[in-house]
Chains A and B, each alone.
Chain A
Amino acid sequence: MVVHTMQIFDRQGQPLYYREFNRPLAASKDEHKLMYGFLFSLKKLVASLSPKKGGGFYACSTSAYKLHYFETASGLRFVMTTDLAMADMRDVLRYIYSNFYVECLVKNPLWRPGEPITCPNFTKSLERYVATL
Chain B
Amino acid sequence: MRRVGEAAFSKVEKINSELFSLTYGAIVTQLLKDYEEVDATNTQLEKMGYNIGVRLIDEFLAKAQVGNCGNFGETAEVIAKVGFKMFLGITAEVVGVSEKEFSLQLPENPLAEFVELPEQYGSLAYNNMLCGVLRGALEMVQMRVECSLTKDALWGDEVTEIRVVLKEMMEEEYVDDD
Contacts and interface: CB of A to CB of B under 8 A. Distances in A.
A76 interface: yes
A75 B62 CA distance: 13
B172 A102 contact: no
A37 interface: yes
Interface in A5-34: 11-13
A106 B54 CA distance: 9
A76 B172 contact: no
Contacts of A12: 175
B175 A72 contact: no
Contact of A74 (B57, B63, B174, B176): B57
A102 B174 contact: no
B39 interface: no
Contact of B63 (A54, A75, A98, A101): A98
A106 to B, nearest CB: 5
A54 B172 CA distance: 16
Contact of B58 (A13, A54, A76, A94): A76
Bin the interface of chain A by size. Answer: 10 to 19
Interface string B98-120: 00000000000000000000000
Contact of B175 (A13, A54, A75, A107): A13
A37 B174 contact: yes
Given A11-B172, A12-B175, A13-B174, A74 B59 contact: no
Nearest to A36: B174
A73 interface: yes
B83 to A, nearest CB: 13
B135 to A, nearest CB: 14
Contacts of B68: 54, 73
B1 interface: no
Contacts of B172: 11, 75
B174 A72 contact: no
Given A98-B62, A102-B59, 10 more contacts: A12-B175, A72-B61, A73-B57, A74-B57, A74-B140, A74-B141, A76-B58, A102-B58, A102-B63, A106-B59
Interface pairs A-B: 5 shortest CB-CB? A98-B62, A74-B140, A102-B62, A106-B58, A73-B141
29 contacts: A11-B172, A12-B175, A13-B174, A37-B174, A37-B176, A54-B68, A72-B61, A72-B62, A73-B61, A73-B68, A73-B141, A74-B57, A74-B58, A74-B140, A74-B141, A75-B142, A76-B58, A94-B62, A97-B58, A97-B62, A98-B62, A98-B63, A101-B62, A102-B58, A102-B59, A102-B63, A106-B59, A107-B59, A113-B54
